[in-house]
A and B are shown apart, each in its own frame.
Chain A
């Protein structure tokens, strides 16, 4: 089954304790990205990646890191989480469109993060 998976789905942690949210897709997509969703602010892009070893900042990158060492994986790293990073996080992926003709984006199931 074609899908985007994220782990963990729920996480409660404390300020300053490093954490990683994993994202994996099995569709051979080049493009992957991370969003956060907050009430009243909608979905905002954190980081994106066009392919292996190619990453760039989105609209709200502060406090986050990413890496793209394999095409299928795009982990989100919070080196020192703070309460303002409490949010619902989504990973997404798609083809770039030049190769497959369809750039429909698929989203993971979301990760609810609470930082106390």
Chain B
């Protein structure tokens, strides 16, 4: 099955700093999603980004499908950004839906 690797595994920031999280995947995909798991355990959709670049406030994401990676940028980080960030891709053999394979996550801690 498809392999998804995220880096770095852990990231500690001071409030106001910027960061870049990376997601590499081993095969062609038709979609990619970024999630934030907050300290209460909820999985929050951040981006659905099969290719190209999207922005939502202080967050933006870029997927380069031909090179099999995606980047999540967090600017001017806030303590509420703390949690685990996951990227996930469908593992359904060429279809664009189905079981998502998640990376192992990046644990982000933002200190005030």
Residues of A within 8 A of B (CB): 31, 33, 42-43, 45, 48, 58-59, 88, 90, 92, 94-97, 102-107, 109-110, 112
Chain B residue contacts of A106, Cβ below 8 A: 45
Nearest 8 CB-CB pairings of A with B: A103-B97, A104-B48, A107-B43, A45-B99, A97-B96, A110-B41, A43-B102, A103-B96
Check B41–A94 contact: CB distance below 8 A: no
- Number of contacts between A and B (CB, 8 Å)? 49
Chain A residue contacts of B90, Cβ below 8 A: 103
Total count of chain B residues near the partner, CB < 8 A = 21
Of residues 11 to 70 in B, which have CB atoms within 8 Å of A's CB atoms? 30-31, 33, 35, 41-43, 45, 48
In Å, the complex CA distance between A48 and B92 comes to 12
Q: Given A88-B41, A97-B95, A112-B41, answer yes or no on A105-B100 (Cβ-Cβ < 8 Å).
A: yes
Of residues 87 to 112 in B, which have CB atoms within 8 Å of A's CB atoms? 88, 90, 95-100, 102, 104-105
Chain B residue contacts of A88, Cβ below 8 A: 41
Task: Name the distance in Å between A105's Cβ and chain B's nearest Cβ.
Answer: 6
Chain B residue contacts of A90, Cβ below 8 A: 43
Chain A residue contacts of B43, Cβ below 8 A: 90, 107, 110
Q: Given A97-B97, A105-B33, answer yes or no on A110-B102 (Cβ-Cβ < 8 Å).
A: no
